[in-house]
């Protein structure tokens, strides 16, 4: 029973940053959820804007506006950011980006002054011709977004569920 007490203690230590993993907003950290179903590889990236941009308000200066454009440009080229196993022959099918800074035409609901946090949510869907060959995914976000220090990944594939924390020196998840 000692062990179970230790485990409980450990699990309680983990509580603050795990319970709310899906909605956690920690600068420098982003979350990537990966689901493989049949031929479709779903990637869902959610990140505090700070990790990608260095700020979380509406761009004010020219420099900040350039940064937002730059970020969007990178995310539009998802095949550079995410490299699934080559043999699986995956190609980007659809994607969507969602963030207050990108909704330029709309009412800027989140852009009142203060210390509000803002996120980016992006979803990418790859079609894989040989999904059985899909065993790993290389993630190059760290190269394009130096503000990103850790990427928490969660995966659901036919081989089971897994989780891993990626860093600039460990960029590949496999399953």
Partner 1 sequence: MSHLLHIALRSAWNRRLTLGLTLVAITLSVAMLIGVERLRYEAHRGFSLSVSGTDLVVGARTSPIQLILYAVFRIGEATSNIDWKSFQDIADNPLVAWAVPISLGDSHHGFPVMGTTPAYFEHFHYSDSRRLSFIKGQPFQDIFDVVLGMEVASQLGYTIGDRIVLSHGMGEVGLLEHDDKPFIVSGILAPTGTPVDRTLHISLEGITAIHLNWVGGVPMHGFTIPGEHVRKFDLTPKDITAALVGLKNRAAVFRVQRQINEHKDEPLLAVMPGVALEQLWQVIGVAEKTLLAVTSMVVFVGLSGLAAVLLASLNERRREMAILRAIGARRRDIFLLMVSESLLVTLGGIVLGVILLSAASLLLAPWVQANYGISLQPALIYVSELKLLVGVVAVGLLAGLVPGHRAYKMSLTDGLMSRI
Work out whether 105 is an interface residue with partner 1 (CB under 8 A): no
Mask of contacts with partner 1, 32-71, x by CB under 8 A? Answer: -x-xxx--x-x-x---------------------------
* CB proximity list for 42: less than 8 A, separation 6 or greater: 33, 34, 35, 36, 123, 124, 125
Q: Taking CB under 8 A as the rule, does residue 8 contact partner 1?
A: yes
Give CA–CA dist 100/120, Å, rounded: 8
Identify which range of 8-16, 48-56, 100-108, 132-140 contacts partner 1 by CB under 8 A. 8-16
Binding footprint of partner 1, residue count (CB under 8 A): 33
Give the C-alpha separation, 63 to 52, whole Å: 14
CB of 2 to partner 1, least distance (A): 8
Q: Is residue 165 a contact partner of residue 151, using CB atoms and an 8 Å limit?
A: yes
3-state SS class at 10: helix
Under the binding rule (CB under 8 A), the answer on residue 26 touching partner 1 is no
Sequential DSSP letters for 109-124: TT-SSSS---EEEEEE
* Strand pairing report for 150-157 and 172-174: unpaired
Of 67 and 156, nearer to partner 1 (C-beta) is: 156
Can residue 3 be called a binding residue for partner 1 (CB under 8 A)?
A: yes
Site map 133..172 versus partner 1, x via CB under 8 A: ---------------------x-xxx-xxxxxx-------
β-bridge partners, 120? 47
Q: How far apart are CA 109 and CA 101, in angstroms?
A: 11
The residue ranges that bind partner 1 (CB under 8 A) are 1, 3-4, 6-8, 10-15, 18-19, 21-22, 33, 35-37, 40, 42, 44, 154, 156-158, 160-165
């Amino acid at each position: 029973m000692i062990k179970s007490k230790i485990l409980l203690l450990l699990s309680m230590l983990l509580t603050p940053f795990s319970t709310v993993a899906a909605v956690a907003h920690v600068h420098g950290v982003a979350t990537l959820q990966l689901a493989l179903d049949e031929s479709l590889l779903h990637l869902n990236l959610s990140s505090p804007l700070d990790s990608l941009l260095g700020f979380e308000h509406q761009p004010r200066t020219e420099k900040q506006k350039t940064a937002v454009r730059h970020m969007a440009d990178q995310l539009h080229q998802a095949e550079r950011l995410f490299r699934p196993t080559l043999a699986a022959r995956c190609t980007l099918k659809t994607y969507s980006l969602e963030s207050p800074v990108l909704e330029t035409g709309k009412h800027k609901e989140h852009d009142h002054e203060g210390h509000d946090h803002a996120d980016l949510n992006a979803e990418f869907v790859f079609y894989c011709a040989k999904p059985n060959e899909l065993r790993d995914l290389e993630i190059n976000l760290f190269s394009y977004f130096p503000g990103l220090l850790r990427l928490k990944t969660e995966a659901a594939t036919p081989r089971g569920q897994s989780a891993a924390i990626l860093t600039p020196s460990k960029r590949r998840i496999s399953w």
